[in-house]
Amino acid sequence: MNERWNVAGLLSAAFAASLCCTLPLAAAGLGLGAASLASAFVPWRPLLIVVVAAFLGKGFYDAYKPLPACGEDCPPKSRRGARIGMWLSAAVALSLLGVPYVTGSAARSTPPDGALVYHVEGMTCAGCEASVEQAIRSVKGVKSVDASFKDSRAVVELDPKAGRPEDILAAIEKSGYRARSE
């Protein structure tokens, strides 16, 4: 029973630590607009990583600690199942923690002529990119948008007859990030 609670805590903390990146990707994939909520999880990520490490340590300790001697009357207990479960849980947890580092975008080319470039603060993963891109696409007149968390910028092609650059800044700010024109 103790192992189940340990695994549940481990996976819950790892999932929560990855929400800043997985929630916006899932929301964008489903066409939902509430992905900016995920930026609220970013400040909690370091603490959640420590919680995951604590659950990993406790789980592996429990799985590998010596069993008390029970005498000649009882057969020895096997912890093989608990050890396998702990290794599988550790793999899943580490995979979830790696989401922000694996979902990075490809290298960006130079912006096209006439494109607007915005410096966006607070993007930490591809999920953040998806949130910013979705917010910018909601502005009238946007032809294309390309956000990069690695470069902390968003490149936008805007039809000046249909939209205004101030509207793009407002959309980025509304999605939970700080931005300024470059």
Overall average pLDDT of the 115-140 stretch:
87
Span 142-179, pLDDT tens digits: 998 989 888 889 999 988 888 888 999 999 988 888 99
The reported pLDDT for the residue numbered 76 is: 67
Average pLDDT, the chain: 80
- CB of 139 closer than 8 Å to CB of 34: no
The reported pLDDT for the residue numbered 25 is: 65
**pTM for the whole structure:** 0.57
DSSP class of 42 = G
Per mean pLDDT, which range of 24-33, 63-72, 79-88, 108-117 is the poorest? 24-33
Task: Give the chain's domains with CATH numbers.
Answer: 2-68+79-102 (no CATH), 116-181 (3.30.70.100)
The reported pLDDT for the residue numbered 67 is: 76
The reported pLDDT for the residue numbered 126 is: 78
pLDDT bucket at 78, cuts 50 / 70 / 90 = confident
Span 57-76, pLDDT tens digits: 988 998 888 877 776 677 66
Name the 3-class secondary structure at 105. Answer: coil
Span 14-51, pLDDT tens digits: 877 777 667 766 666 666 655 555 666 677 778 888 88
Reading the block at residue 167, the tokens are 């509207």
CA distance readout (Å), 33 to 67, 79, 127, 134: 52, 46, 13, 7
73 exposed, middle or buried (CB, 10 Å; 0-12, 13-18, 19+)? Answer: exposed
The alpha carbon torsion through 136, 140, 145, 148 (nearest 10 deg) reads: -10
pLDDT bucket at 122, cuts 50 / 70 / 90 = confident
Q: How far apart (Å, rounded) are the C-alpha atoms in residues 129 and 16?
A: 19
Phi/psi region, residue 152 (left: phi>0; alpha: psi -120 to 50; beta: rest), is left
Overall average pLDDT of the 88-111 stretch:
70
